[in-house]
Amino acid sequence: MIAIVDYGVGNIFSLYSSFKSIGAEVVLTGDADEIRAADKIILPGVGAFGDAAEKLRDSGLAKVITAQAAWGKPLLGICLGMQLLFEKSHEYGEHDGLGLIKGDIVTMEGVVPSDYKVPHIGWNSLRFPKGKEKSPLFKYIEEGDFVYFVHTYFGTNCEDSVIATTEYGAELTAAVARDNVYGVQFHPEKSGDVGMKILKGFITL
């Protein structure tokens, strides 16, 4: 069973529907015991990092998620959920993340050219790092496949964990992994067939 963590941040029904469409057993839950009982965990999220991190901690779910990850349970963070896996975010101040991925979350303003629209919204292709084996998360897709992004902030200082980047006037982190912890900046549930193949890659880890 896959547990999608429901902590009051984000539209999670489309993600739930996507997993159901590929035959996964999935539950939306904010219950710690259900999360512990699951085989895999999805951490979704949209909105501001600080608010989401506070809700995770106040609910007690931050400790549950980090403990389950430490025990080797596969965890996938999506969009803001990926950013929450990092050590720190610099969105409207400084906020501590879950610390499961080394690195920082920073704005792309001043990183991408001034004539590029921020936030970055739209379809962009994935690039896999040269010299690294392709992540098992991407075993059903190919380099150059397109996925859908909606974000202003991105992960940096995380070179060892990067498993995919995308080009948007600059090379931006698109996906990260460290052992059993994975994160994607894009929205698989909004990325058509490619996105479904990535979710399938996760459920077959």
Residues known to be catalytic: 79, 187, 189
Torsion of CA 139, 141, 147, 149, to 10 degrees: 20
Three-state secondary structure call for residue 75: strand
Question: Which residues share a beta bridge with 146?
Answer: 125
Element (H, E) at 61: helix 61-70
Q: Helix crossing, 13-21 with 192-203: angle to 10°?
A: 80
Local structure of residue 158 (DSSP, 8 states): -
CA angle 41, 138, 194 (to 5 degrees): 95
Is residue 136 reached through a cis peptide bond, with omega within 30 degrees of 0 on the bond before it?
Answer: no
The residue written with tokens 């931006």 in the block is: 172
Structure tokens at 130: 């040269």
* Residue 87 phi, psi dihedral angles, 5° rounding: -70, -40
